[in-house]
Amino acid sequence: MTARSIVWLRNDLRITDNPALSAAAGRGGQVLALYIHEQSHGVRPIGGATRWWLHHSLVALGTELGARGITLAVHEGNSQSVIEGLADQSGADAVFWNRRYAPGERTVDEEIKASLRERGLLVESFGANVLVEPWTIATGQGRPYSVYAPFWKALKAREVERPRGRPEARRAIEPTEVDADYTAPRWAAKLGSHWQIGEAAAHQALARFLDEKLEDYPPGRDIPASDATSRLSPHLRFGEISARQIWHAAMAMAHAEPERAGFIDKFLSELAWRDFNYHQLYHRHDISSTSMQGKYEAMQWRQAADDLAAWQRGQTGLPIVDAGMREMWETGFMQNRVRMLTASLLTKNLLIDWRDGEQWFWDCLVDADVANNAGNWQWIAGSGLDASPYFRIFNPVTQGEKFDPDGSYVRRWVPELARMPDKWIHRPAEAPPDVLSAAGVMIGRDYPAPVVDLRASRARALDAAAAL
DNA sequence: TTTTGAGTTGTTCGA
DNA sequence: GTCGAACAACTCAAA
């Protein structure tokens, strides 16, 4: 009897280093690849920008799989119903997938695994999407790390599994159902001019980063106007490239060119933050809805719909914050330091619940995943493990003058300030009238006054944290 | 077993 | 202008 295997793809939209795909192909017989736009209890619906990215990534993957004789079927609905229905229709005798780590997702997967096994199918899951499995790294007391530095040290001492190769071509099962009707929001179409999507593009981005950008990374990653970062995050989000592929490519370079090892260590320590966040996701109940430090559940957040809307639209009157919010709206991406600045303004100066900001980023960022988005928001808000100390409140004027000294980032994304001189571009409301008129800016007409007084709101945030 | 040092990303104030 | 201290509390790991 011919083997018939289903590969359930989720956050692993790649051909190489895909153990579930390799396991299916390795059995011989026929292979059907499946993606489900999932409507399952416990699985968070994805945001608009990620939905757009996902669509294009699936198109790219379908083409690559098709060239290898594997059909990609895209369905929508409850995962268990879809898989069991498809298994019945196709006569599949095995189902494979790579693991995911959110508690709700794991529950869904465990239930499906048990149910399929009860029906007599072979079911196997694999580690593929983090550097090390969360349950295999622990402190001396056997607990999960809650501080990054010792986590990073422990991770470096570990062997990160080598990426697998590429499965051989197989003949496809004829799909019984074609693409589910599933579209990204209309606004997301504008993101297309900023990204190349898919596994090949992911590897090109990595190669370009390692070959051309590595030396600029440690200083440049803090400069929002520079192009010093890898921009791999949305590729990682859907697993177009795996973290361990990046790890080993960088390690190979560090070995071959020891003079670059320092830069590579810095880069990989950032990649390891992704694992740190995924491990917290695994060990915790729900990091996108619950503060990891329990006392933050008592925080008296302000209800301020107008302030939230001004922040979302990039109309806070604080130029580098507005630049970041508009960059994200236009491109689906925001430079890392600006993510911190914008999040700090919302959670500290405006004292608005981090969940409101997390949800907005969730919808706007092409790289939004629960682990990193919620983990980073909680880090800024102060509610996370190993979080930023409560007194670390970014001043968007100071930060703008430090990290965007010539205002080129602001000029790009806040064009109404393009003619402001460097000296005043980060604090236009304080500029003398003749400077403003020469730049063609009237505060309140062309660009808003700051939505909040930075000094007073800083004191308010410190008081609110102390009250906890 | 106890102690000690160090810990992603900042700001303000006063010398 | 530059520089160090203060702004907590706690975890982890090494001594």
Q: Does the nearest atom of strand B lie within 7 Å of A458's Cβ?
A: yes
Region A127-138: mean pLDDT is 95
| A3 within 8 A of A93, measured Cβ to Cβ | yes
Gap between the Cα atoms of A102 and A192, Å rounded: 29
Alpha helices in A119-242 (DSSP H): 148-156, 199-208, 217-220, 233-237
Q: Does the nearest atom of strand C lie within 7 Å of A389's Cβ?
A: yes
Gap between the Cα atoms of A53 and A66, Å rounded: 20
Q: Does the nearest atom of strand B lie within 7 Å of A336's Cβ?
A: yes
Higher pLDDT, A95 or A167: A95
From A69, A87, A45, A61, select the one nearest A9 (Cα to Cα). A61
Terminal C-alpha separation, chain A:
65
From A13, A54, A11, A9, select the one nearest A365 (Cα to Cα). A54
Burial tier of A444 (Cβ tally within 10 Å: 0-12, 13-18, 19+): exposed
Q: Does the nearest atom of strand B lie within 7 Å of A395's Cβ?
A: yes
| Homologous superfamily (CATH) for A4-127 | HUPs (3.40.50.620)
CA of A380 to C1' of B9 (A): 10
Q: Which nucleotides of C are covered by protein (CB under 7 A)?
A: 7-9, 11-14
Residues of A belonging to the active site: 270, 273, 301, 336, 354, 377
Per-residue pLDDT at A176: 46
Q: Supply A390's token pair.
A: 């409560």
Give the pTM: 0.96
Gap between the Cα atoms of A333 and A324, Å rounded: 9
Going from N- to C-terminal start, the domains of chain A cover: 4-127, 130-162+200-283, 294-467
Closest protein CA to C1' of nucleotide C11, residue: A147
Collapsing DSSP to helix, strand or coil, A188 comes out as helix
pLDDT surpassing 70 at residue A282: yes
| A357 within 8 A of A343, measured Cβ to Cβ | yes
Q: What is the DSSP letter of A137?
A: -
Q: Does the nearest atom of strand C lie within 7 Å of A182's Cβ?
A: no
Per-residue pLDDT at A241: 98
Nearest nt by C1' to A138 Cα: C12
Region A328-355: mean pLDDT is 96
Collapsing DSSP to helix, strand or coil, A127 comes out as coil
Q: What is the DSSP letter of A173?
A: P
CATH for A130-162+200-283 (3.40.50.12280, 2.40.50.140, 3.30.465.10, 1.25.40.80): 1.25.40.80
Sign of CA dihedral A291, A292, A294, A295: negative
Q: Supply A132's token pair.
A: 């090390």
pLDDT surpassing 70 at residue A122: yes
Percent of the residues in chain A that have a pLDDT greater than 70, as a whole number? 97
Q: How confident is the model at residue A192 (pLDDT cuts 50, 70, 90)?
A: very high
Sign of CA dihedral A437, A443, A446, A450: positive
A9-27 pLDDT per residue, tens = 999 999 999 999 999 999 9
Q: Which nucleotides of B are covered by protein (CB under 7 A)?
A: 6-12
- Quote the strand ranges of A54-108, DSSP E: 71-77, 94-98
Per-residue pLDDT at A174: 57
Region A233-248: mean pLDDT is 97
Q: Does the nearest atom of strand C lie within 7 Å of A466's Cβ?
A: yes
Closest protein CA to C1' of nucleotide B10, residue: A392
Nearest nt by C1' to A398 Cα: B11
Which residues in chain A, range 15-74, keep a C-beta under 7 Å from any nucleic strand B atom? none
Q: What is the DSSP letter of A213?
A: I
CATH architecture of A294-467: Orthogonal Bundle (1.10)
Interstrand relation of A4-9 and A71-77 (parallel, antiparallel or unpaired): unpaired
Nearest nt by C1' to A146 Cα: C11
From A330, A312, A331, select the one nearest A322 (Cα to Cα). A312
Q: Supply A303's token pair.
A: 């209800």
CA distances, A318 to each of A190, A222, A276 (Å): 25, 18, 32
Q: How confident is the model at residue A169 (pLDDT cuts 50, 70, 90)?
A: low
Residue A408 sits at the vertex; the CA angle it makes with A402 and A412, to the nearest 5 degrees, is: 135
A326's torsion region: left (phi>0), alpha (psi -120 to 50) or beta? alpha
Per-residue pLDDT at A173: 59
- The secondary structure of A239-306 as a DSSP string is TSS-HHHHHHHHHHHHHH-GGGHHHHHHHHHHHHHHHHHHHHHHHSS-TTTS-SSGGGGG------HH
Nearest nt by C1' to A147 Cα: C11
Q: Which residues of A315-346 are buried (b: 16+ CB within 10 A; e: fewer)?
A: bbbbbbbbbbbbbbbebbbbbebbbbbbbbbb
